[in-house]
Amino acid sequence: FDFFHGFYTEKKLVGNLASMSTSERIKAIQKMPETMKKKREIRNKVLKVVTEKSRPHSTQLSCCTQCLQGTVVSFRRFGNSLSEYFHLLQLWHKTLKTIGAKFGTSVLSYFIFLKWLLTFNIFSFLINFSFITIPQFIAAEPNNLSFVGLELFTGAGYFQQTVLYYGFYTNATITKVENGPSYNMQLAYIFTIGIYFVTCFLILLFSIAKSFCRNFITPQMYSGNASKLLCTWDFNITNEKAVKLKQKNLSTQIKEYLTEVNREVLNFSVTERIIRFVIHLVSWIASLGTAVAACAGVYFLSTINLKLFVKGHKNNLESQAAMLVLPVVASLLNTFIPFFYSWLGHLERFQSPGHQIYVAIIRNIILKISIVGILCYYWLNVVATSESQCWETLVGQDIYRLVLVDFIFCLLGSFFGEFLRRIIGSTVCVSLGLPEFDIGRNVLDLIYVQTLTWIGILFSPLLPGIQMISFSIVFYVKKISLMMNCQPPRKVWRTAQMTTSFMFLLFFPSFLGVLAVIGVTVWRLKPSEECGPFRGLPSMYAAVSEWVKILENYSASKWVVWIYHNLITSELFFFILSTIVIIITYLYWQVTEGRKTMTKLLHKQIIN
């Protein structure tokens, strides 16, 4: 009797639900005090009844309508399958999950930042290769220099007469077929570089704003404590390894939250505060003095190298090998001085590991940006006015060597700094223990080399391709070294805002400084007379001015001339544009604040 009564009741329930509208039916099923499995069964039965009732009506539909509906459903299923497939193919997705689960978000932020920089260089390489390098292949002359192998390290010799450097590119208008379409290499070179930097500027601003919103303005929306504990588990995970990885990841994140909540604020006496202040002051004086001394040494060495190279006019192996002295010294300074900064950080004994990392990052960014600034001054004020036949290629070679030697030192640092440190800490001196991954030093290495790459794009258009390969190798080397040699941070701490800080440091002072260097080069410096696409012009930008003068003679191109005179060269336009950007940013912040308030109310309701 109970079975038949239950069957009749369920049948009546299904009939009532089938008579409702779609929205009412969904709400009614959600409010049922049943398990998810039972709700799915009821929903499927209701859909079956609804389908049977609408079948006579559906037979009256035209053949075209049925075909259209079938096509829409097929495209929708194909789109869902494609999105799932691309999600599985996401670069290093599983590796990043493993790193985050074992070492926490602080170490994970480095690898996310490295992956993000790799996408930047892939984008840059594709643009430069498509619009600058491929057209040059059509007008390229054969290379008569011999390849001896040392060019891979020096970037000179055989590579001087290749598309790797600025000096090889022609200043002629390329035409493959007589009386056919032409390709202006001067305009292609400057517009490609210019559009790329504008695109990078917008991407960086958007990424910083998005990361700032996620981690500073509305952190509860993405990482609330209640939702992290109650609503994070993905019940679609059935694989045993994936389940264990997810459990470990959640455990690490909850530990980070608890550490932040239970962090103790130490109260020091007056004497202890004075001692700590003196230690901090001496550490900062020592770090700044070291940076100044390093910059002076780099500048002195670079001027000596230039005199030897230009006056000797040599192209043999000895002179080429001598050009490696500057990048080796710069890489040695960038490698060993950060260890000195880390030692200073241990002496200062910060209460939070986050404070120690941020101080190390500030000191390292001062060191590295100062070295890059001195090198830029040397390139723009010494090399550009030297007796070299093609000073742009000489600058490109310097940057090539700096990037390559820094890559080699990065690999050696993983071996000597982490592998040998693990051997010593596990066998010779057990009290040292296993090393921890130095986030600040490794992140600043990435920012340093990316800054050099951005500067070098103008002088070596294919440099992002080289950097793309090196970043891929660095990712795997650092990942293997991390898994084999390093231990998780002794003090667990949450670093949701660290990725935002990395992006901001990449934007300022790195990217904005690069824009200043590129601007001075394009607008102020005179190009070489015997090489490059801008030979014979007073400045690189003069190619654009001459092109606009030609367009003034064509009535169909008046709108381009108007844009150039009233927008591109107008200070008022950029002032208005900046004001609009600030207003949009403010409005976006106001909307986000409203979402933040709604999220807080929602969390209170969940907790209650």
415-434 pLDDT tens trace: 887 888 888 878 877 777 78
Domain match, 29 and 150 both: no
Q: What is the mean pLDDT of residues 61-69?
A: 59
User: 510, 537, 564: which is the final residue of a domain?
Assistant: 537
Q: Is residue 553 part of a domain?
A: no
pLDDT for the residue 534 = 94
Last residue of a domain, one of 507, 537, 567: 537
* 395 vs 490, more confident: 395
pLDDT value of residue 378: 93
Domain carrying residue 5? 1-35
Of 30-34, 115-119, 286-290, least confident by mean pLDDT is: 30-34
Tokens 């260089």 belong to: 121
Mean pLDDT of 159-175: 89
Please state the domain count of the chain.
2
Alpha-carbon distance of 306 to 575, in angstroms, equals 41
Structure confidence at residue 221 (pLDDT): 46
Domain-embedded: residue 266: yes
CB 514 within 8 A of CB 456: no
Answer yes or no: do 447 and 318 share one domain.
Answer: yes
- Domain contains 342: yes
pLDDT digits (tens, 9 = 90+) for 137-156: 887 777 877 887 888 888 88
Distance CA 501, CA 504 (A): 5
pLDDT in tens, 523-540: 999 999 989 999 989 999
Nearest 5°: phi and psi at 232? -95, -25
* 559 located within any domain: no
Give backbone dihedrals phi and psi of 120, rounded to 5 degrees, phi first. -60, -45
CA 287 – CA 349 distance, rounded (Å): 16
pTM, 2 dp: 0.77
Does one domain contain both 222 and 308?
Answer: yes
* Residue 511 tokens, joined: 């990217």
Does 604 map to a domain? Answer: no
Tens-digit pLDDT profile for residues 290-327: 999 999 999 998 888 777 666 544 555 566 677 888 99
Same domain assignment for residues 16 and 153: no
Last residue of a domain, one of 495, 515, 537: 537
Please report whether residue 603 resides in a domain: no
Distance between CA atoms of residues 376 and 381, nearest Å: 8
Q: Assess if residue 565 is contained within a domain.
A: no
Residues 492-499: what's their mean pLDDT?
60
Q: Is the pLDDT of residue 62 over 60?
A: no
Q: Where are the alpha helices (DSSP H) in 349-385?
A: 353-378
Would you give the DSSP letter of residue 528? Answer: P
- Helix 439-456 vs helix 391-414: crossing angle, to nearest 10: 160
Decide which of 238 and 154 is more confident: 154
User: Do 30 and 132 fall into the same domain?
Assistant: no
Give domain status of residue 84, yes or no.
Answer: no
Q: What is the pLDDT of residue 58?
A: 47
pLDDT of 246: 66
Q: For 338-361, what is each residue's pLDDT tens digit?
A: 889 888 888 887 767 667 878 888
Q: Are residues 311 and 210 in the same domain?
A: yes
